[in-house]
């Protein structure tokens, strides 16, 4: 992050404190809105819109007070046609400050993308193994401290290697993507899901016991089959906290062993 910020903005002194704010910002989007509010205050603007072009996100527009861009304003601004920069009412922002602000906000959006990519699997959009483990340890710690219950479910796709060998990796990747999408739709906001191996997934179901898991997995399988128009099977194993353990390694071992046992019954 230091290299991303340092040396890029020779005129950063035009907006004192913003570079320091960017170094400690937890959210790029929040930083962008903070910048707009500071510009509005500094230049006594009743309304302000920042328009910037991002290489990955495309054209982005942000309005002061987080107001919708489409609302009527004194600017009558068409963000698809106007130049990149900071547009305000009643006056404008000097070009140097506007340029610095836009570049800082572009970097802030970059940082949000980097944070997302460091935690998520690029194919399915679920958490990757590293960040799933972080969330798993957090849930296990809360279970040990407060007695909160959750189930860890590990599952994989039956005969996935044969599917890849027969139909090719593009279809295999599509199946994985659909599984990830259906998990996004089916899970509650409190639940956690990750892709932890090639065709292996793991879920943390908050305050759920093992009796509810088979029906949940059946719904996921039915949705995937309907989307792919082909038969897809899952094998899964379950462990419960705190009744069986609050140690994440032991819970994972139990669920994985039960997954292997379930697969053995299908051979």
Interior/surface letters 48-82, b for 16+ CB within 10 angstroms, e for the rest: bbbbbeeeeeeebbbbbeeeeeeeebebebebeee
For the chain, which residues make up each domain, given as ranges? 2-116, 129-264
Number of Cβ within 10 Å of residue 249's Cβ equals: 12
Number of Cβ within 10 Å of residue 34's Cβ equals: 17
SS3 content of the chain, % helix, strand, coil (to 5): 50, 20, 30
DSSP state of 90: S
State in words which class domain 129-264 has: alpha beta
Angle at 139 between CA 184 and CA 26, to 5 degrees: 70
- Environment class of 255 (CB within 10 Å of its CB; exposed 0-12, middle 13-18, buried 19+): buried
Q: Please identify every residue annotated as catalytic.
A: 199
Specify the pTM: 0.77
Per-residue pLDDT of the chain (267 residues; tens, 9 = 90+): 444 444 444 444 445 577 778 878 888 999 999 999 999 998 999 999 999 999 999 999 999 999 988 765 667 778 888 899 999 988 888 888 899 899 999 999 999 999 999 999 999 999 999 999 999 999 999 999 999 999 999 999 999 999 999 989 999 999 999 999 999 999 999 999 999 999 999 999 999 878 889 999 999 999 999 998 889 999 999 999 999 999 999 999 999 999 999 998 876
State how far the Cα of 260 lies from the Cα of 255, in Å rounded to an integer: 9
Nearest to 142 by CA among 87, 204, 88: 204
The distance of Cα 214 from the centroid of its chain, to the nearest Å, equals 27
The three-state secondary structure class of 36 is helix
Provide the token pair at 14.
């035009």
């Amino acid at each position: 992050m230091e290299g991303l910020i340092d040396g890029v903005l020779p005129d950063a002194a035009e907006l004192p404190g913003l570079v320091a704010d960017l170094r400690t910002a937890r959210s790029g989007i929040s930083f962008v809105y903070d910048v707009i509010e500071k510009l509005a205050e500094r230049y006594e603007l009743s309304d302000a819109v920042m328009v910037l072009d991002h290489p990955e996100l495309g054209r982005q527009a942000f309005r002061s007070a987080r107001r919708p861009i489409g609302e009527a304003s004194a600017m009558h601004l068409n963000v698809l046609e106007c130049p990149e920069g900071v547009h305000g009412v009643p006056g404008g922002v000097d070009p140097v400050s506007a340029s610095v602000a836009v570049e800082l906000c572009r970097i802030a959006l970059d940082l949000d993308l980097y944070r997302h990519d460091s935690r998520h699997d690029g194919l399915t959009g679920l958490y990757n193994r590293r960040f799933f483990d972080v969330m798993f340890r957090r849930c296990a710690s809360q279970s040990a401290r407060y007695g909160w219950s959750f189930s860890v479910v590990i599952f994989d796709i039956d005969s996935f290697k044969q599917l890849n060998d027969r139909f090719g990796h593009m279809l295999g990747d599509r199946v994985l993507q659909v599984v990830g999408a259906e998990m996004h739709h089916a899970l509650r906001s409190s639940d956690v899901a990750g892709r932890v191996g090639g065709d292996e997934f793991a879920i943390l179901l908050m305050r759920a016991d093992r009796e509810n898991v088979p029906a949940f997995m059946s719904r996921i399988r039915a949705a995937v089959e309907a989307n792919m128009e082909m038969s897809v099977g899952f094998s899964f194993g379950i462990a419960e906290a705190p009744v069986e353990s609050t140690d994440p390694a032991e819970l994972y071992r139990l669920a994985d062993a039960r997954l292997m046992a379930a697969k053995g019954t299908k051979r």
